Amino acid sequence: MKVEHAKPKVGSTVTMDRGDFLSGKYAEDLRALMVERSALVFRGMHLNDEEQLQFASTIGDIFLVGDKPLQNISMDPEINPVADYVRGAFYWHIDGANDPIPAKATMLGARVLAAAGEGGDTLIANTYAAYADLADDEKAKLEGIKVHHALEASQRYITPNPTVAELERWQMRASQSHPLVWHHQHGRASLVLGNTCHYVEGMELGEGNMLLCRLQEWATQDEYVYRHKWEEGDFIIWDNTGTMHRADWYPLDSDRLMRRTTLQGDEPTY
């Protein structure tokens, strides 16, 4: 297994024998490397659905959306019935942040690339590194702060003037309180941020929004962000619990198609 770092603090390209990749020979190493590097890239894999699921199951338990282990990531409503909802992916977020236990990892396998010049890069920000680099007095101030996460918050990016029916639909969905700083079982801590942040609990709204904005701006500085420029057959996996991610804008009628698999989270956010 060969590992090349994209940037000192985030992103690595992993090269290995295809048989070893599928068999899970290095699964334990990859799980550790994913936490250390946030995002792992495997170039030119050209995985089909079955192979993607075979690999995913070597890393963790596959999370089913409805009854499906793979989801189409496309903005075309004919291919992706929840295309409207997926447009939230143009903004920094954590998958499953409205649930008690967010997804452990997310994987994307390229099936159809955006046309040249259309955009559609995937960006992943390392929120362990961003937290680690904060000054100690700032870290102390963030302890104990909780943030309410809700679908309403992320959907307002896309639909800023919702109807009552839309708002009712959003508010029916699960929402969740998470600590701003997640102390993980492996010993590192990360920031829990993104477009699902609705408000900071117990803090005046303006002050809370400023705090979230400031931390998000900090965590998405270039040194913490890996930008993946997709090539045919690429496959990437990231540690969803210690990152935020987003897609760079691309046209809603683009042919871009990714197949996504997420892994079941196994660690509450405290």
- Taking the complex as a whole, the smallest distance from the CB of residue 40 to Fe ion amounts, in Å, to 16
Q: Give the binding range for Fe ion (CB under 5 A) out of 10-18, 42-50, 92-100, 144-152.
A: 92-100
Nearer to Fe ion, 122 or 175 (CB): 122
Give 99's contacts (C-beta < 8 A, 6+ positions apart).
174, 176, 265
Task: Compare residues 65 and 210 and give the one whose CB is closer to Fe ion.
Answer: 65
Q: Is 239 in the site for Fe ion (CB under 5 A)?
A: no
Using an 8 Å Cβ cutoff, are 255 and 112 in contact?
yes
User: By CB neighbour count within 10 A (0-12 exposed, 13-18 middle, 19+ buried), where does 82 fall?
Assistant: exposed
CB of 85 to Fe ion, least distance (A): 11
Sole window of 10-18, 39-47, 83-91, 159-167 interacting with Fe ion (rule: CB under 5 A):
83-91
Q: What is the largest CA-CA distance in the chain?
A: 55
CB of 63 to Fe ion, least distance (A): 12
Nearer to Fe ion, 47 or 124 (CB): 124
1-9, 20-28, 80-88, 90-98 -> range binding Fe ion (CB under 5 A): 90-98
Residue nearest Fe ion, Cβ-based: 95
Task: Closer to Fe ion by CB, 88 or 179: give it.
Answer: 88
- CB within 8 A of 238, min separation 6: which ones? 34, 38, 39, 40, 105, 106, 107, 124, 245
Pair 101, 241: CB distance under 8 Å:
no
Q: How far is the CB of 139 from Fe ion (least distance, A)?
A: 27
Asked if 88 contacts 155 with a C-beta cutoff of 8 angstroms, the reply is: yes
Question: Out of 45, 60, 95, 234, which residue is the one contacting Fe ion (CB under 5 A)?
Answer: 95
Residue whose CB is less far from Fe ion, 83 or 142 = 83
Touching Fe ion, residues 112-151 (CB under 5 A): none
Element at 112 (helix H, strand E): strand 105-112
| Candidate ranges 93-101, 110-118, 140-148, 160-168; the one touching Fe ion (CB under 5 A) | 93-101
Q: Cβ closer to Fe ion: 134 or 259? A: 259
Query: What DSSP state is assigned to residue 68?
Result: B
Residues with Cβ within 8 Å of residue 103, at least 6 apart in sequence: 63, 95, 96, 240, 241, 262, 263, 264, 265
Q: Which of 120, 110, 109, 128 is nearest to 262 (CA)?
A: 109
Q: How many residues interact with Fe ion (rule CB under 5 A)?
A: 2
Binding footprint of Fe ion on the chain (CB under 5 A): 89, 95
